[in-house]
Structure 1
C-alpha cells in the first residue's frame, strides 16, 4: 500500500483531497460549534424566561392566597424540563415559600468541561406581582443544569459534524474520480507509450489520446518530448564521433597520458604511458594508481592529489626504473570535472636528456657536497624565482630547520660522526618533502624547506604546513644509529610565509630566522610562525612589568572569592583568587600576569598581599557571624612562592595581623612545587602544619606527581583539576582518572574536592563516584568580597 502511494499520482491526489476535505469539515464544524456555544446563554435566557411567563400568574395567586400546596405544585411542574435543576419561590420577605429540585442524574460530562464551555451564570429569575398592580408578592428563581445544557449542545454539534464530514468526503471522492479521468489516466497512457519508443524515435499513443489531448498540455508534452528525443539522438551521434577522435589523439600522442577517476583508479592509458612504466595497457586499466611502478611516490602523489583543487595544475617529477636504470619523468597533473564526475589527467614526459644536462651544471655550484642537497645559493635562487612567479592570491612558505644539540655531538664525537648524523637526518627527511618543494642545506646543521605553492590559509592555522612540520619534528626526534652510537637530536623550526610582495629574499629568510629563535625560546623541539608583532613582544612585556609595579603601588589588585560546597549544597568554604583590574585594559587574566610576576620576583609581594587581605576579610566575616568555625579559606601559593624562605613567616604574620584562627586556613600547593625538590617541600609542609594550617594539593593529576611519596605528604585534601572534570561525562580517560584519584584519596584518608563543576550533570556524576565537595560555576562564580558576602554568606546560599 505504501509503495502504491509513493508511485501513484492518483492515490496521492486522492489522499490529499480527502485529508483537505476532512480538515475543512473539522474546522467548519468547530467554527459552528463555537458560534453555537457563544449563542447558548442568550437562547437559554429567552427559553426559560418564556417558561417563567407560563407559571408567573399561578404563582402570584398562590402567594397572594398563601396557598403553599398550589405553589409547590406549580414549582414541581416546572421540573418536567430536564434542563431545570431547581425551582425556588420566595415571598416578599425573601423566605422560601415553595421549593422543588430535580433528582441527580450522573452526567456524561464533568463540571469542569461544562463550566469551561458555558461560563455565564445559569440562574433565571422573575419578580412576582399582584395581578397587574406593581405590588411585589415574591420571586421565582430557576437554577439550570449546566451539564445537561452542554450535553445538548454537544449532541447537536456532533450530528452537524457527521453530516458535514459525510458531505465533504463525498465531494472529495467525486473530485478524485474527475482528476483520475482528466489527468491521471492520460498520463499513464503517455508514460506507457514513452517506455515503448519505436525505431522511428517517436511516441506512439492510442488514437483516443491524440483525439482528446491534441491541443492541450498533454498533447504539447508529447510533441515536446518527440523533439527533445530527436535532439538527444543527434547529440549522442556527435558525441560518439568526438569520442572516437579523442581516443585516436590520445592513442598516438607522444607524451604519456593516464586518466584517473575520482577514486584514483586508472580509466584510460595510452601507449606512450605504458611504455614509460613498462607495463601493458591491459594490466594498467582499472587498477589503482598506486600499482604503478615507482613505490611510495605514487602513494605520496595520491595524498597530494586529494588536496589538489579542481582546475588547478600541479607538476611532479619522479624516476622510474627502466632496464636497471632510473628514467626521470615529469608529470603535469590537472583535476577537472566532466558531467559531474571528477577526473585527473597525468601528462608524463621523459626528462632524461634534460636532467643529465642540468645535473652536470647544478652539481658544480648549486649543491651541497656532503648531503647533495641544494645549497644556500640555489635556495635563494629558487626563493627569488618563486617570489617573482607568485600569482595573485597564491603564497609560499619558508621553513628553517635547526638541529638542537648538534654542536654538542659534533664536538664530543668528532666531525665525521657529525657528518654521518647529518646524512641520517637528511635521508629520513627527504621522503617527507612535498612535491614542488626545495629542501636545501643552509650550512652547518641548518636546513631550509621552500614550499612555493601552499594551499590553505596564510597563517599558523594552515593544516598542511603544521602537519608537515610535525612530521619533521617526529622524524628528527627518532634515534639515529651512527658508528655504534645511538644519538638523540631534536629540531627547532621557524616559519615565514611569503606572497611575492616582500622586499627581498633576505627579508623572508630573516623572518624565518626570527621565528626560529622564538622556537628556541619556547624550549626547542617545536616550531614558531613569524608574527609581525614579535619585535614588539619584548616592549609589551616591559610595559606589563611596569604596570605590575604600578598596580601593586596603586592598589589595583583585588581578592575575589569562589564558594566551595558539599553534596547537600551547603557552603564549606571558599578559594581566594587574585584579580587585576587594569585602568586601561580592564580585567587581565592571572595566566597573563602571574608568570611575569614570577619572572621579575614580584610574586612574593603579591602572595603576601593575598595572604593578608584574605585573612583580614575572613576574620571580619567571622566576627560578623557570617563565617563558621568548620569552614576553610583556600589560598594558592605559587611554586616560586612555596620555595621562598620567608613563606612560613608570611603566613604567620597574616594570621597574627588578622587574628584569624589557623584552622580556618588552607594553603594550596601545586604538584610542580612538590616534585621539584621533594625533601625541601616536605620540610616546609611540616612547618606549615605545625601552625595548624591545612594543606591541599591543587590541580592534582596535571603535574609530575609521584604516587610513591604521596602517602608521606602531610596534606589534608586533593583538588581534582578542572581539565579532568570538564570532559568527565564524555571522555572515558578523564572518567577513569577522576575515579582513580577519588579511590586513592579514600585509601589514604584524604579529602577530595573537584574543581570546574559547571553543570548539574557534573555534580551528580561526581556524587555517584564518591566525591562530595565541589567548586565551580554550577555553585557560584568568583566575585568580590561584597558580592560574596551578599550572595553566599548573608543569603545562606545553597546549590
Structure 2
C-alpha cells in the first residue's frame, strides 16, 4: 500500500487534497461556530423581543382590566417556545400578576459547558403601557433556558459542519478527478510515450494529448524533450562518427601507432605499426614493450618512459629491421591520463623518404641541378675554409668565367639549347680542372674556379694560373654542336688572389667580378687580374647600386617629355624619358644607371614609377585641356621589364589610378624584347592591344629580329633609330636602310617615326622619303613637365622654313 502511494502521483494528490479539504472544513466550521457564539446573545435578544411584541398588547389590556386569567393564558402561551423557561407578568407595583413555568427536562449538557459557551445569563423583559399613552401598567420578564439554547447552537453548527465537510470532500474528489484528467493522465501518457521513444521520430503521443496539450506546458515539455532527444541523437551520432573516425584514423594512419597502458604493455597497434615492427597485432597486444625486436633499445626506452612526466613529450630515433632492410624510424612518445588511468602513445614514422629527401635537398642546396657542379653556396663555404686554413706565406686564386654572347644564343635559340651548350662547355672544361680545385656554377653562364693553394708568386705572371686560363679559353672557343646548331662562344675571365687576410669571401668575389668586367671592357675572350686601381671601379659600381636604392626610396627620379611632331610641325604626342639628379654626383645618364638597375632588379620598380608619374601627368594635362585626344604619350619598356609576369597588371593599375584613357598611351618595346620570347611577347602585346593601347618598336633596325615576324605582331608604329638618321644625308647605307624601313612600314600599313631629327636637312629628306612623323632636337629637347606645358601652350604649330 505504501509502495503504491509512493508510486502514484494521483493518489498522493488525492489524499493531499482530501486531507486539506477536511482540515479546511474543520477550521472554517470552528471559525463559523465561534462567530455564532459571539453573535448569539444579540440574536436571542432580538428573537424574544419580537415574541414579546406579539403578547405586549394583550398583556397590557389584561393588566388594565386586572384580568389575571387572560394574563395567565398569555404567559403560558409563551412557554410553547422551548427556549423560554419561565414567563412572569408584574403589575405596576412590581407584584406578580401572572406566572407560567415550563416543566423541567433532563439536560443533555451540563450547566458548566453551557455557561462556558454562553457566559451571560439570558433574560428578556418588556415594559407594558396602556395603549399608545406612556402610562405604565406593569412589565413582563422572560427567563430563557441557557442549556437548550446551547444545544440548539451545537445542533445547528453540527449540521453546518457536516454539510461543509461533505461539500469540501466532494469538491476535493472533483478537483482530484480534474487533476487526473488534466495532469495525471497526460503525464502518464507522456511517460508511457517517453518510455517507448522512437529514435527516428522522437516522442509519439496519442492524438488526444496533442489536441488538449499542444500549446500548454505539457505540450511544450513534449516538444522540449523532442528537441533534447534530437540533440542527444545528433550528439550520439556525432560521438559514434567521431569514434569511428578516430578508429579509422588510427587504423589507416600512415604512421605506426602503439598505445601502452601504465605498466607499458601494448594495448592498441595499427596496421602501419605492424609493418614497421614486422609482427601482427595478435602477437603484439598485451606484450611488454621490451619484447619488441631490437630489445636493447626498447628496454632502454621502457626505463625512460617510466620516468616520463604526464603531459610530456619525448622523441627517439632507432632503426628497425624489415625484410633484410634497416628502416630509420622516429618515435614520438606522449604520456597522458584518461579517466584516472595513465597511458602512452607511440607515433612511429618511417624516415626513409625524409632521409632521402634531405640528401636530395642537400644536393639541391649545394649543387647545380643542370651541370651537377657545386653551386655558389658550396663554393663560398670552400672559399671560407680555404681562407681559414691558409698557411703563412701561402695564397689562393679565385677565377670567375663568364661566357660571351651566351644570352644572345639563349634568347635566339631557346633555353633548351642554352642549357645543352652549358653542359657541353662544362664537359670540355672538366678534364682541365685538377682534383684539388673547386669548379662551381654560380650563375646562369658564370662559373668559378677556386684554387685553395697556388704555387709560385702571387703575380699576374704566375705560370700555373696563366697556363690553366689559356687552356680554358681555348676549350671554350672550340665550336660546340648542340641540337643541330654549330655554336661558337668565347669566355671572359677575372682573377683575384687571396691570402686569408681579406675581410670576407664577398670581398674576394667582388674583386674577381671587377676583374671580369675589366676583361669584358678589353674586348672579351680574354682575362684580367684584379689590381688595386680597379677597386675604384668596384667601389663606383657599389656606390651606384646604393645610390639607386636611395633614389628609389627618396623619389629622386624625374620624368621628362620630348615632343613628337608631324610634317606640319604640329604636336602629335611625346616620349617619356627618365632623368636622375643624384644628390652627390648630379645628373647621371640613363645609359649609365639603367644597365645597373636591370642587373640588380630595380628596373621593375623604376618602370612602375615612370608608368605612374607619366599617366598621372598626362591625365592632369588632359583635364586642363592641354593634352589633345589625338596625342599619344610613348612610354619605353625595357626587355627585362617587359618580361615581368605582372607587366600588364602594372599598366592597368597605373591607368586606373590616373584615370587616363588607354587609347592615349603608346608602349615602346625593342626588337630584343620580341626575339627573346616571341610567344610570351605576342601574348602580352595582345593583352595590351585589347586594352586599347598602341604598340611601337623602338630603335628599329639595330637588333637581330627576323622581318617576317612583323606581319604577325600587333604593332602600330616603327621608330627608326637615330643612328641611321644622323648620317642619313651623307651615308648611302643609312639612306638605304631608312628608305627600306619606310617602304616596309608602308607595305605593312604601319606608321613610322624617325628619331634624332636635328636639322632641317634631316626633316626635308625624311619627308621626301615618305616619313611624316618625327622626334628630335629640331622640334624640341627633352624637358620637365612645367617646360613641356609651356612648350605646348606656345607651340600649337611649328613652321619649318
Structure index of larger Rg: 2
TM-score (norm 2): 0.38
TM-score, normalised relative to structure 1 = 0.38
